[in-house]
Structure 1
Amino acid sequence: MKKAHSKKIFFGWWVLAALCSIYATVNGIVTLSLKRFYPSLIETFGWTQSEVTQPISIFYFIIAFLTPFIGAALDRGNPKRIILAGATLILIGLVGMSQMSSLNHFMAIYIVFSFGVAGAGMASSMYILTRWFRRHRGKAVGILLLGGSLGAAFFNKVTGDAIDMIGWQNTTLLLAVLAFLFMIIPWTLVRTDPSEKGLFPDGIERNSGHKSIQDGPSLAQAFRSPELYLIFLTTAALWFCIIGFGQHQDIFFQKELGLSSSKVTNVGSALFLFGVVGKLIFGFLSDSFNKKSIMAWSILLLIIGNLVLYIIAIKTIELSPYWYAFTYGIAYSGVFTMIQIMIAELYSGPSYGKILGVVLTIDTLASVAGIVVLGKMSDYSGSYVTSIQLMIGLCLTALILFLLVRVKSRSTLIGNKKD
């Protein structure tokens, strides 16, 4: 009698776990937790709000131009090696930051970070994930992106507490050690394609009816679709607000509202923890309900989050900043998740890397604009109130633009194969 064998866990889930750890570290440290250094750097070097956020603006600007090249490299190269190269540059940047002595030095470090994040960040992880998952893509994307929120919550707390205890220079070295543990070691589990393990997407059989990875529009076909331009405008407006204010959040709460450093740290961690909830909720909902409707609801929730932030800023009503963390955390994570899912749903295929690279470039340029404009507005007016009013208007505009998007079938998007 043959011995029964238990069903093995699909290896794609292990790949997803590794990508989660890497993305959690890249996103958690470089793009979301290093802003905890801003108040200390302002105090140490006497920089202004716009000066201390200038390097991150350059960082996003460089990423915007690197991303299309990374996308093209992903389509024809080795994503796993690209991730390793990026992770290594991030480690170099963190060690170099501990020796920082001037604003130019700070900018140089962020240039290194930009190359690192371009290689080890969202584009590479999403590219690999879309090869491993089709039927469970919504869940997989939600889980991947919640890694970013978990990493942000963890590293934000570690960074804030460590700065208070051991100073900002030693904190950068601590982050370098943690980055090695959470990026390089999990990287060994990553495989670019299920075929490397003799598997198929979702662990299913080849004859299950799933479309080939070669199905999907080319870059030229995608650019002939008006929906792509509406997506450009929608996501650009959203990233202007989300990333733009995200880099000013700690300055707003600590310098303008006068909250203690520890409370600012806790509010930031709460924001990211609620982001975990948002990514899970919206990721799972996207596999069961109309994706466009779910995306629209996430934008509406972001508008509510901005209104809560506005009430906190004008101080006419005493409102805890944790209400902002709750509404904004769930909202921005839902928006982020749904954007990635919809782009993968519409454009995955042989040109997915290039198309994703173009979308990320547009979003990154909008992020740069948000960081610069919101900083300049706050410097000029002495408050973030007008900046928040601008964000409310842009989010309303994004919702209207997105409602104009008609989500077509993949066959319509692909069109004539002779293209």
Structure 2
Amino acid sequence: MHPASPVPLAIPKRASLLPSGGRVCRGATWEAPVLQYLPGSQYIAHPSRLFYGWWIVGAGMVLNALIGALVMHAYGAYVAVFKEEFGWSSTMLALGYSTIQGTNGVVGPGQGYLTDRFGPRAIIRVGLVVLAVGLVLFSQISQLGHLFPALFVVAVGMSLGGFLSVMVAIVHWFERYRATAISFITGGFALGGVLTFLVVLSIDTFGWERTALGSAVVVLAFGLPASQLVRTRPEDYGYRPDGAPAPE
């Protein structure tokens, strides 16, 4: 006779039960699921946490917010300082920003191949390290000729560690809610724009060199933990796109 109320079920460490007949799936979640008893059937585990794909969306928002706040939106603040300190023209400094945009287009095809081969999480990690190195180089510039190589390295890191790499995971984890997920990730750039005032405040308080160095530290301190959340395919972790139940 079946009990009338839910009964605790022992669950192996680092394992979860899916809504597909109570099968155990390693590595799918770190939390104990909520067990629901259905008369005439097996115990079915309904995960109590949010669908894991949304954690990847959150990671993408953090990565894009970092790139937006520390580079894309902050570049204008650095331009104002460079004009005053070095006397560089607006045309040459605008060309520096064009270097960032142009590099993203050049890196794209190779990035796609590497992401397919090694997975988005590995590429994002490499990109964040490259971005941090680029910001360190950026903090050391003293001539106009130093600006463009530093921005090239920054741009490569931005491309590898940002939007495109995260999108590879998103298209696997979401189908029905893909547009919603993409809109949240894109919103990370807008969030970065809101946070840019912190970069401006740091430049006024500590100087642009220390701000650029500090930005490199922030990229690694917040970006690398966020990249840990990224996974390539939901099926590898016992999920289906959008958190849909497994077919019977």
TM-score where L is the length of structure 1: 0.47
Separation in 1, partners of 2:231, 2:211: 32
CA contact 2:51–2:243 (8 Å) conserved in 1: yes
Deviation at 1:151, TM superposition (A): 1.8
Separation in 2, partners of 1:207, 1:106: 55
1:359-418 CA distances to partner (integer Å, 9 max, x unpaired)?
A: xxxxxxxxxxxxxxxxxxxxxxxxxxxxxxxxxxxxxxxxxxxxxxxxxxxxxxxxxxxx
1:182-221 CA distances to partner (integer Å, 9 max, x unpaired)?
A: 211111121111122111111102439xxxxxxxxxxxxx
Partner secondary structure for residue 247 of structure 2: helix
For 2:142, the equivalent position in structure 1 comes to: 101
For 1:153, the equivalent position in structure 2 comes to: 194
1:40 alignment partner, one of 64, 75, 81: 81
For 1:184, the equivalent position in structure 2 comes to: 224
Which residue identity is paired with 2:176?
Answer: R
For 2:6, the equivalent position in structure 1 comes to: 2
Partner secondary structure for residue 141 of structure 2: coil
Which residue identity is paired with 2:135?
Answer: L
Work out which of the two has the higher radius of gyration on C-alpha atoms and give 1 or 2.
2
Separation in 2, partners of 1:35, 1:97: 14
CA contact 2:104–2:156 (8 Å) conserved in 1: yes
Separation in 1, partners of 2:64, 2:233: 18
CA contact 1:28–1:151 (8 Å) conserved in 2: yes
For 1:83, the equivalent position in structure 2 comes to: 124
Q: How does 1:225-304 map to 2 (within 5 A)?
A: none
TM-score where L is the length of structure 2: 0.78
Partner secondary structure for residue 53 of structure 1: helix
* 2:34 is aligned with 1:12: no
CA contact 2:125–2:227 (8 Å) conserved in 1: yes
For 1:144, the equivalent position in structure 2 comes to: 185
* 2:104 is aligned with 1:63: yes
For 1:128, the equivalent position in structure 2 comes to: 169
Deviation at 1:134, TM superposition (A): 1.0
Which residue identity is paired with 2:169?
Answer: I
Deviation at 1:111, TM superposition (A): 1.1
Paired positions, count: 207
Separation in 2, partners of 1:68, 1:160: 34
1:123-150 CA distances to partner (integer Å, 9 max, x unpaired)?
A: 1111111111111112211111111211
Question: For the aligned residues, what is the CA RMSD?
Answer: 1.7
Separation in 2, partners of 1:144, 1:72: 22
Instruction: Judging by fraction of residues, say which structure has more helix.
Output: 1
| % same residue | 29
Segments ≥4 residues shifted beyond 6 Å = none
Separation in 2, partners of 1:33, 1:68: 27
Deviation at 1:7, TM superposition (A): 2.9
Deviation at 1:57, TM superposition (A): 1.4
CA contact 1:18–1:187 (8 Å) conserved in 2: yes
* 2:179 is aligned with 1:175: no
* 2:225 is aligned with 1:204: no
CA contact 1:27–1:121 (8 Å) conserved in 2: no
CA contact 2:166–2:230 (8 Å) conserved in 1: no
CA contact 1:133–1:202 (8 Å) conserved in 2: yes
Which residue identity is paired with 1:157?
Answer: F
